[in-house]
Amino acid sequence: MLTIEQAAEALAAGTTTARALLEESFSAVAREPAAFMVLHHEAARAAADAQDMLRRAGRAPSRYAGIPVTVKDLFDEAGQVTRAGSVALEAAAPALADAPVVARLQAAGLVVMGRTNMVEFAFSGLGVNPHYGTPTSPWDRATGRLPGGSSSGAAVAAADGMGFGGLGSDTGGSCRIPAALCGVVGYKPTASRVPLTGATPLSFSLDSIGPIARSVGCCQVIDGIIADAPAWHAPLPLAGLRLAVLRNYVEEGLEDEVARAYAATLSKLSALGARLTDIRIAEIEALPGVNATGGFAASEAWTWHHDLIERAGERYDPRILKRIRRGEGMSAENYVALLLARRNLIAAVAPQTAGFDAVLAPTCPLTPPAISAVEDEREYNRINMALLRNTSVFNFLDRCSISIPCQRPGEAPVGLMITGENGGDGKLFAVARAVEAALA
């Protein structure tokens, strides 16, 4: 499958058209139809034809005009109902305007082919949706394995060639977890870079909007468009990169397949000249206790949801409803203490990583579990917390972070998480490109 840059080159050379790329993407939907909530067949074809006409006239709005992409059901599109993966919002009025991130994609000429499936209200890392179906990870479809969440459909679509990438959101790992479980790349930007307007919120403090695609470069293109400011940095050679390997907290309970792939990745990077240094960040061990009263997600979700729950709470997935209701009992004292704890943790951790180009960790401790495994509520909660554990550290610390595949061909998908500093998005992309090239 082509990358975004390869597709842009083919469009510029006239060896393909926007309409042809779109039809190939629509054809690929048959591999896993549950990846989508809505397909914009007529509108997308009209948009692709328009971009082809503009390109022939020398008026293409950008190098990437005509490339098909997807949008998570979390984001407003004018004329569409933003259901956020829930039947509780089925009767809501259609959006009057596009979310800024959607408008920026369309202004650059990219073609939105449809709205991808997601966890209801983005409140789980598993990818399960009992209302609209759960798309399966491309790995071992005979068994039926979790795609990761909450941006489940976006990751499955990227992996299966349904468009060239898509918009996701990441509050505790919702771009990086499904990327890891589906064998693609997921990017969480420094949250303030990308506007949240027009996105159904989960946590005002932690929400960020990022891309999921098949390569680091593809994610960088989409990120630059939706941030309206490309995160550029001069290319970095792998040899000499100072990479911190986080050894505490994130390595607990790794599945054997994850541990093997991760160890092999670290060995390869070291052999190619990267300077790896083991570090331990004691402060992150406190995170479970800091979030024990529900954390930002429950308290801030409850603020947004309580009126809707009064009207339509019986329509929620009970497991999601239970998680949101945790915020109902959170006191102002608890919330202020959480704000202070976050500020203190950010300040304490920053100098410990400042001397490195990036921090490495496994994205998730698990390969994709079977969907049947989470039918039991205790297993649902256990696996969900396991998948969210590593990625959520860096949402709390307000860092930019990316997951890239690091398994060998033919093995279960495993993600390598590379994390930069707050505001260091350009440098992180440069590091991730160097690592991706080395692993290829």
Catalytic residues: 72, 150, 174
Distance CA 427, CA 372 (A): 40
Tokens of residue 160, six digits = 């299966």
CA-wise closest residue to 18 among 63, 68, 58, 56: 68
Tokens of residue 398, six digits = 């307000």
Please tell me the number of Cα atoms within 13 Å of 183 on its side-chain side: 17
Distance CA 153, CA 117 (A): 5
Tokens of residue 385, six digits = 């917390």
Main-chain phi, psi angles of 167, to 5 degrees:
-80, 130
Helix axis angle, 216-227 to 4-13, nearest 10°:
80
E-strand ranges in 252-301 read 275-279
Do 185 and 412 form a contact (C-beta atoms < 8 A)?
no
Do 392 and 172 form a contact (C-beta atoms < 8 A)?
yes
199 secondary structure, DSSP code: B
Please tell me the number of Cα atoms within 13 Å of 53 on its side-chain side: 6
Reported as type and span, the H/E element at residue 324 is helix 318-325
Distance CA 43, CA 359 (A): 42
Buried b (16+ CB within 10 A) or exposed e, 143-171: eebbbbbbbbbbbbbbbbbbbbbbbbbbb
Peptide bond before residue 150 is cis, with ω within 30 degrees of 0: yes
Tokens of residue 19, six digits = 């309409």
Residue type, 153: G
Please give the span between the terminal C-alpha atoms of the chain, in angstroms, as a whole number: 15
